[in-house]
């Protein structure tokens, strides 16, 4: 089985615990207007097999093992190629390799269910706290996303990732809505607040795609701290930020 992929990072340190081998699959239909990797939306023509991934991983396995790391599959949206991810993660489980899925959850529940039995940790990237905000920031209705979030939260270790975009999705009301959403899950999960940045705009320009957030400043430490304060006051566990 082959998957379309964009690239590989052999020394990932922000995509799960420890040092990680990060496979970025290609293909995404969510269409986030603040995406910093729009070049991963199309499937492209690069393919890779499970055997090739594991062979490459083995070259550096001592670093991953000693740090408590493993393999992370990211994207694009990896759950659009769920059969491949499930096969890879199943092979990882047989070899004692820790697996992390980095997903937006924008896929069918059937696709999510294929991967769920073999994933050790999920980094679930919520783009907004309400259906209305999802429609303004993405091409998606969030119904399937929330269904998949609930399934993963009930079944495996999960962290929510939320990008703070100044004056777009970081108001006190937004944070209260986010807290309410987290409290509604089958178990309480932590949230990792990530700062919006405009570094990906150059990619949009190269692809001839209009960038809609040209006037939005990059998030600063104060934006993260303001959001963090509201969430903590709502009883939410906030992880250390990455500013």
Q: How far is the C-alpha of 5 from the C-alpha of 77, rounded, in Å? A: 10
> Is residue 33, in this structure, part of any structural domain at all?
yes
Residue 174: its pLDDT value, please?
97
pTM: 0.96
> Is residue 239, in this structure, part of any structural domain at all?
no
> Is residue 193, in this structure, part of any structural domain at all?
yes
> Is residue 209, in this structure, part of any structural domain at all?
yes
* Class of residue 210 by CB neighbours under 10 A (exposed 0-12, middle 13-18, buried 19+): exposed
Q: Check which CATH number belongs to the domain holding 193 and give it.
A: 3.20.20.70
> Is residue 240, in this structure, part of any structural domain at all?
no
* pLDDT by residue, tens only, the chain of 243 residues: 899 999 999 999 999 999 999 999 999 999 999 999 999 999 999 999 999 999 999 999 999 999 999 999 999 999 999 999 999 999 999 999 999 999 999 999 999 999 999 999 999 999 999 999 999 999 999 999 999 999 999 999 999 999 999 999 999 999 999 999 999 999 999 999 999 999 889 999 999 999 999 999 999 999 999 999 999 999 999 997 554
Residue 97: its pLDDT value, please?
98
CA-nearest of 127, 145, 134 to 194 is 127
Residue 235: its pLDDT value, please?
97
- Number of domains into which the chain is organized: 1
> Is residue 119, in this structure, part of any structural domain at all?
yes
Full residue range of the structural domain in which residue 165 is found: 2-233
Q: Reading across the β-sheet that carries 47-49, which strands appear in turn?
A: 47-49, 2-12, 20-25, 70-74, 98-103, 121-126, 157-164, 191-195
> Is residue 243, in this structure, part of any structural domain at all?
no
**Which pair of structure tokens corresponds to residue 237?**
């566990």
> Is residue 28, in this structure, part of any structural domain at all?
yes
**Which pair of structure tokens corresponds to residue 212?**
């809609």
DSSP, collapsed to helix, strand or coil, labels residue 72 as strand
**Which pair of structure tokens corresponds to residue 88?**
């890879």
Residue 241: its pLDDT value, please?
54
């Amino acid at each position: 089985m082959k998957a379309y992929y964009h690239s590989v990072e052999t020394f990932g340190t922000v995509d799960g615990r420890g040092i990680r081998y990060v496979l970025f699959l290609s293909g995404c239909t969510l269409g986030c207007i603040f995406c910093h990797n729009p070049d991963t939306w199309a499937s492209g023509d690069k393919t890779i097999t499970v055997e090739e991934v594991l062979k490459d991983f083995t070259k550096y396995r001592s670093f991953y093992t000693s740090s408590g790391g493993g393999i992370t599959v990211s994207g694009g949206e990896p759950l659009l190629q769920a059969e491949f991810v499930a096969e890879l993660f199943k092979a990882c489980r047989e070899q004692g390799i820790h697996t992390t899925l980095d997903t937006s959850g924008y896929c069918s529940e059937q696709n999510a269910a294929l991967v769920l039995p073999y994933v050790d940790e999920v980094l679930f990237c919520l783009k907004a706290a309400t259906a209305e905000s999802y429609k303004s920031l993405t091409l998606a209705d969030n119904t399937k996303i929330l269904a998949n979030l609930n399934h993963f939260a009930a079944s495996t270790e999960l962290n929510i990732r939320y990008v703070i975009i100044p004056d777009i999705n970081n108001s006190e009301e937004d944070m209260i809505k986010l807290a309410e959403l987290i409290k509604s899950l089958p178990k309480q999960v932590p949230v990792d607040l990530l700062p919006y940045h405009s570094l990906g705009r150059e990619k949009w320009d190269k692809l001839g795609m209009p960038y809609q957030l040209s006037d939005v400043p990059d998030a600063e430490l104060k934006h993260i701290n303001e959001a963090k304060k509201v969430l903590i006051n709502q009883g939410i566990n906030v992880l250390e930020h990455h500013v």
